[in-house]
A and B are shown apart, each in its own frame.
Chain A
Amino acid sequence: MTDRTTGKPGKVAQIADDSNSSYIGQSIPSTWATPILHVDMDAFFVEVERLTRPELVGVPVIVGGLGNRGVVASCSYEARAVGVHSAMPMAHARRLCPNAIYVAPTMQTYQQMSEQVFLLLRTVTPIVEPISVDEGFLDVSGLRRHHPDPHSVAVLIRKLIRAELGLPASVGIASNKFLAKLASNHAKPDGVHTVSEDQVSAFLNPLPVRALWGVGEATHAALEGLGVATVEDLLSVPAPALQSRLGSSLASHLRELARGHDSRSVEAGSGAKSISVEQTYARDIKGRNRLETELLAQSDRVASRLRQAGVSARTIGIKVRYAPFETISRSTTPPSAVDSSRAIYHLVLGLLDRIDLERPIRLVGVAATQLIDRHLPRQMSLPMNPTSQFGGNMGKADDAGSRTSSFVDALETGHDHKSGKHLAGSSPDGSGAWDHLADTVEDIRSRFGERAVRPARLADTPDVSDPDRLYGPREYRDKIGSSDSGEPGADDLNSD
């Protein structure tokens, strides 16, 4: 989800200026005290599937990995009615809802639709912060001259998404992100809910403490030990008691949230701190060769996201989870930032040497962190290649001819798998022709789809979901939200 707000911030600034001048001496209408919107698509994957498959309308639909260890990625409200929810093991869902239609995820479609959603949101305001494929925050305080209150903006957004894309969305409205997200949850399905300033404690107090951002298993257990079940219970615990149980920073963080305070602002712009892709497998994978293929695909995807966001990564990491749940991460920071598939994969291969490859692996992922504007100064690499098809002389690498001749190699990286030798052309950088090539590849993909150009090694990877894939790859942006997804192009599969 690229943030293409070019030109718009200026416009908003102007609106804000105008409104400031006209509001001099006046107080802002009270409703504008809650200018933060959380837009959350309802059963997003299911609803996207329904657009092209009318037979899915009105019946329970479950999208997710269909294999043995599959997990529910998204389910319709008909399925939720009988207790199915996201992240539930598929086997469990099948028992609860045997008559549902089970669908393998088609991530590329969801991704495209997600981009449409965010494009639409940005026609409303440029202050849009996507947190996953199907949800994002908006700060609409700049619209006060155009709308009577944020509720009216929310109504417009829902109407636009419904009219233009045919999808339902819920919107939560509040004074900050934390409350807005809880509000949208309350609004679901297909509704709007405002938590006004005077309703905050009435809204929050009865909620279970788990609703507080930052309360996971361990914290929940600690709070239970204190007899805390609801937000109200939490507020009744004396601060020192809470601090001694949770540590002072977590304790004060939770008390702030419990009072409905959250100072995080809506971050528009490329804002992401990390871009990562990971994949869980239904059957553990093993062996360097298989892992390399998976990591190449993931590197390619991460590179694509980086380029769409106009950033380069100073650090590349891999994550490996052995069965059962033992996760290790390794990362590296090369001299210059990277944003090409080739360079990222190259670094990933280096990290692979620090991983025990003999053990069965349940999950692998590639993460790009320390993101910087890709137009910052960048160390260029020497134009070396042992096979000489690329850059016979200094500077020759910029010739159009040599660019095309080594086209495939650009994506394949310079790692020679058979001999185990690393080739010289594989230096991690984005200099010269490689950079140009990666841009071209991205351009082709933006017009003809993700799979229009692929690394040669992945060329024979089937389009149809690999049964080994649980659900994924999951893509994360900024680690705030996650999107549940699957391989593109999967055929529909009925549970029966």
Chain B
Amino acid sequence: MHIRAERDDLADVLSRAARAVGTRSPIDALQGVLCEVTGKRISVTGSDLEMTVRTSLDVEVKEEGTVLIPARLASEAVKKLPAGAVTMKTDDSEVEITGHGPSIRLRQLSVDDYPHIETGDGTPGSEIGGKELVDAINQVVIAASGDDARPMLTGVKVEPIEGGFRMAATDSYRLAVRDLLGTELPVGGLIPARGLKEIGRTVTDDKVRLSVGSRMATVSSERGSLTVRLIEATFPNYQQLLPDSYPNSLTVKKGDLLAAIDRASLVAEDHIPVRLEVGDGGATVSVTRQEVGGTSERVEGTFSGEPFQIAFNPRYLADGITAVDDDEIVLDAQDGHKAGILRGANTPGFTYLLMPVRI
């Protein structure tokens, strides 16, 4: 293998593929990125078997071939070379990366040891705007759990709805649901949140294609493809949690509420809940912590229903408010013991349901 490319372009394809490489892989070969050079292109693959990112770039090919090189080392090495053209060529058991003088040699990993990696199963994809998809993902992944003991909660449930598809995630304390209309998806699946979070940093583009097969999901664009293995677990039946209407409803400015919670969090930290006394004219946001102090402030807004009190984990509450893409936030609730719902006053499609803290 022998290629010549712009430093920044090569660093880009290497580092994006390297994002799928795990830090602790049981298989040495998976510490590497696989660089395959054919025709006029180099394609770079990084994988931890659960998630695979494949990127590609048009380069000047002097000699075709395939090498496996340490992922992070290779991308960092290319970045550290002087700007301009860079060459990468096989030299015996090493790969030499050279640019305007400096030359870095990296020992190759054995290509034969690299496992066969499936990327997609031919399921046709549905086209969707990259930003639209990434924004929606960012809204729901905040509710996903990081607890590997409960795999079904570490994923985002993607399923077709009329006129589009829906994404949902929950860690059992909160549930985030986002509807995306305009792109039909034939079937759904439970996609690891960890993989979805990487889309924005790896393969997103103006337009992407999303496909969900029976075992994996793939997002692809001109910049490459990201494939994740679906979680084989049953996602909780969350539809029952989404009520048609709530008796009590508060509307406030997003910035006001967020700022109040931010101040309350100063004192709250940890597991101290922030209390909301909701009634006519708005809400009083307060927090009290023994031996530290407390905060209390009034957030003006409009209210309908019976006044109620509710307390939330401040981080969970702030996560939800931040995720709502609207200047005006609506908090719907039944009472202080049932879940509250956060949504945008003017932007339907996103719902964040949060269980209160019992006080």
Contacts and interface: CB of A to CB of B under 8 A. Distances in A.
Interface SS of chain A: loop
B237 A386 contact: yes
A372 to B, nearest CB: 9
Nearest to A349: B149
Given A380-B355, A382-B170, A421 B334 contact: no
A492 to B, nearest CB: 42
A165 B120 CA distance: 73
Contacts of B313: 335, 379
Nearest to A414: B150
A22 interface: no
B233 interface: yes
B234 interface: yes
A394 B357 contact: no
Interface residues of B, number: 39
B69 interface: no
A362 B236 CA distance: 37
Interface in B223-274: 232-238, 240-241, 243, 271-273
A380 B358 contact: yes
Nearest to B312: A379
B240 A388 contact: yes
Given A349-B149, A384-B241, A395-B334, A378 B233 contact: no
A51 B237 CA distance: 56
Interface in A37-68: none
A336 B243 contact: no
Interface in B266-288: 271-273
Given A377-B273, A395-B334, A431-B355, A383 B233 contact: no
A421 B231 CA distance: 10
B147 to A, nearest CB: 6
Interface string B164-196: 000000111111000000000000000000000
Contacts of B147: 334, 350
A327 to B, nearest CB: 22
B292 interface: no
Given A377-B311, A379-B355, A424-B152, A384 B173 contact: no
Given A382-B175, A384-B238, A350 B150 contact: yes
B241 A426 contact: no
Interface size class of A (residues with CB under 8 A): 35 or more
A216 interface: no
B148 interface: yes
A394 B358 contact: no
Contacts of B358: 377-380, 431
Contacts of A383: 241
A431 B359 CA distance: 11
B100 interface: no
Given A395-B338, A422-B233, A379 B173 contact: yes
A383 B236 CA distance: 10
A265 to B, nearest CB: 21
Contact of B338 (A337, A394, A426, A427): A394
A306 interface: no
Nearest to A396: B240
B356 interface: yes
Interface in A352-391: 353, 376-386, 388, 391
Contact of A424 (B236, B337, B356): B236
A382 B234 contact: no
Contacts of A432: 337
A414 B339 CA distance: 21
A426 B150 contact: yes
A401 interface: no
Nearest to A430: B358
Contacts of B170: 382, 384
B353 A378 contact: no
Nearest to A416: B234
A91 to B, nearest CB: 40
Contacts of B235: 424
Output the residue of A392, A424, A429, A431 with the most chain B CB within 10 A: A424
A104 interface: no
A347 interface: yes
A393 interface: yes
Interface string A409-440: 00000000000011110110101100000000
A380 B149 contact: no
A385 B153 CA distance: 13
Contacts of A336: 173, 271
Contacts of B232: 421
Output the residue of A347, A353, A384 with the most chain B CB within 10 A: A384
16 contacts: A334-B147, A335-B173, A336-B271, A349-B149, A350-B150, A377-B272, A380-B355, A382-B241, A384-B170, A384-B240, A386-B237, A394-B240, A395-B334, A421-B233, A422-B149, A422-B150
Closest 3 CB pairs of A and B: A350-B149, A424-B236, A427-B172
Interface of B: 147-153, 170-175, 232-238, 240-241, 243, 271-273, 311, 313, 316, 334, 337-339, 353, 355-359
Given A376-B271, A381-B355, A424-B237, 8 more contacts: A350-B148, A377-B357, A382-B170, A383-B241, A385-B237, A392-B240, A421-B234, A431-B358
